[in-house]
């Protein structure tokens, strides 16, 4: 029997706004509205609003909650901030991966510390029960609660250089809440221990409490907003209305996918998955010491990584025009025509193009005056052996063969790490 796809509480809004709906992670989700290209560009130039309420949120709390996360997650929570010199503390978040004993990825996650022995763990759509059971199975005797919050809290994402200006219009106390410093991967707000919904310390003007996190999945300046599920539609509509003067667009999965690939961010179960989490652009999620010679803690998957023999090598790539191949029906070939790997992701970043033998973005401060990007294909390949960056390879499917270049970075001049006060007009 085929399981019926689920819908978020914003599904009817997406339908009414003309979204093209597609299955994703056991949900029916908006793929795009009027134009995936325009949605992608809106996040680079103005702002975009994403329904991410299909993602699962876990609450881990109790005396030994931190021990559970230390064992089951790759990041060393005792040394993960300030260049891996400082421990995770309340008000901060970190990216991590959850591995099995072979060092293969079960899922990736964002861990946020709400208070002493209280953590939020955001995982991918429909992965909450599996991750919860994994945590419990690995730590049967530890004293901690692990609660799936999907019936209580959901999130939406506001991304793009004007997102702070939009929030400034609708937050109840913007001067206090948006007062710098508000660094990347920090958050403001809390969770009520009884109702399991956000506390009223941070709220929208209509008294909707939220947890506001300066994070996201696009590589651009923006926020994730955690809101009680019964307030989700009201908050979405308030943000959407306030954003119209800034040309805010609702964005679907297609723009999310092209933005995150251009920002060199992985899609779990596609770019990272059932192979050792090694030799990829995201090894910062492993607890290496400064010399990258030993791990700073013991964790599930450590021995599997250290003994892995079936290693793969994952590289970002960028093409020379906007054409793509189908990852499911393609392979990677050397210049001599030898099959050397597979395509994991292939999308088009519509905000970039080659000029003067380098890649510029619409956000590049030194871009040519007449710069009008046509878009470039980009993504990730998994190869059987190591090859040098700048190597040119062929992506081949049934329709075409594309020449691409292996690169360390794709879309330049991303705004996610820019100083907060430089991105919000309220402080200028």
Mean pLDDT of the chain: 96
For 186-239, write each residue's pLDDT tens digit. Answer: 999 999 999 999 999 999 999 999 999 999 999 999 999 999 999 999 999 999
Is the pLDDT confidence value at 427 over 70? Answer: no
17 HSE (CA, 13 A, CB side) = 21
pLDDT at 181: 82
How far apart are alpha carbons 418 and 168 in whole angstroms? 18
Is the pLDDT confidence value at 174 over 50? Answer: yes
pLDDT at 116: 95
Which whole number is the average pLDDT over 346-359?
96
pLDDT at 25: 84
- 0.85 cut: is pTM over it? yes
Q: What percent of the chain has pLDDT over 90?
A: 93
How far apart are alpha carbons 406 and 121 in whole angstroms? 33
Which is more confidently placed, 426 or 110? 110
pLDDT at 385: 96
Is the pLDDT confidence value at 127 over 60? Answer: yes
Which is more confidently placed, 4 or 228? 228
All domains of the chain in start order, with CATH:
6-53+151-260 (3.30.1360.120), 312-428 (2.40.30.110)
Contact 139, 311 (CB under 8 A): no
Which whole number is the average pLDDT over 10-24?
97
For 132-156, write each residue's pLDDT tens digit. Answer: 999 999 988 888 999 999 999 999 9
User: Taking each helix axis from N to C terminus, what angle separates 253-262 and 36-45, rounded to the nearest 10 degrees?
Assistant: 50
Is the pLDDT confidence value at 63 over 80? Answer: yes
How far apart are alpha carbons 273 and 206 in whole angstroms? 42
pLDDT band at residue 11, thresholds of 50, 70 and 90?
A: very high
pLDDT at 180: 76
Is the pLDDT confidence value at 356 over 90? Answer: no
For 382-392, write each residue's pLDDT tens digit. Answer: 999 999 999 99
User: How many residues are listed for the chain in this entry?
Assistant: 428
pLDDT at 1: 45
pLDDT at 360: 98
């Amino acid at each position: 029997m085929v399981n019926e796809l689920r819908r978020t509480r914003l599904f009817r809004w997406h339908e009414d706004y003309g979204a093209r709906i597609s299955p994703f992670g056991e949900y029916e989700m908006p793929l795009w509205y009027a134009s995936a290209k325009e949605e992608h560009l809106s996040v680079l130039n103005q702002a975009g609003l994403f329904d991410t309420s299909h993602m699962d949120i876990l609450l881990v709390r109790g005396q030994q909650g931190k021990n559970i996360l230390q064992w089951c997650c790759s990041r060393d929570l005792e040394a993960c901030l300030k260049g891996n010199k400082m421990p995770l503390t309340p008000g901060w978040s970190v990216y991590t991966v959850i591995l099995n004993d072979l060092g293969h990825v079960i899922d990736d996650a964002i861990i946020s510390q709400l208070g002493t022995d209280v953590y939020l763990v955001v995982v991918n759509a429909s992965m909450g029960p599996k991750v919860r059971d994994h945590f419990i199975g690995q730590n049967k005797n530890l004293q901690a609660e692990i609660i799936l919050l999907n019936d209580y809290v959901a999130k939406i994402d506001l991304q793009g250089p004007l997102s702070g200006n939009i929030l400034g219009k609708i937050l109840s106390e913007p001067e206090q809440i948006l007062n710098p410093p508000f660094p990347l991967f920090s958050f403001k707000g809390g969770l009520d221990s009884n109702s399991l919904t956000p506390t009223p310390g941070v709220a929208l003007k209509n008294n909707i409490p939220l947890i506001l996190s300066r994070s996201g999945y696009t590589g651009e300046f923006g926020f994730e907003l955690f809101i009680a599920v019964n307030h989700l539609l009201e908050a979405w509509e308030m943000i959407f209305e306030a954003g119209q003067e800034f040309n805010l667009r609702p964005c679907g999965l297609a723009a999310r996918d092209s933005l995150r690939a251009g920002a060199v961010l992985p899609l779990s179960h596609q770019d990272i998955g059932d192979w050792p989490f090694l030799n990829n652009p995201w090894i910062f999620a492993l607890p290496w010491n400064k010399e990258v010679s030993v791990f700073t803690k013991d964790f599930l998957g450590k021995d599997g990584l250290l003994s892995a023999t079936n290693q793969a090598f994952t590289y970002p790539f960028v093409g020379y025009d906007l054409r793509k191949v189908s990852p499911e029906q393609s392979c990677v070939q050397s210049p001599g025509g030898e099959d050397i790997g597979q395509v994991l992701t292939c999308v088009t970043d519509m905000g970039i193009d080659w000029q003067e033998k380098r890649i510029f973005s619409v956000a590049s401060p030194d871009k040519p005056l007449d710069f009008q990007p046509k878009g470039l294909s980009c993504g990730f390949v998994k190869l059987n052996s190591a090859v040098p960056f700048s190597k040119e390879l062929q992506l081949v499917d049934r329709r075409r063969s594309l020449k691409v270049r292996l690169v360390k970075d794709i879309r330049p001049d991303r705004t996610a790490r820019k100083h907060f006060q430089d991105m919000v007009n309220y402080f200028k």
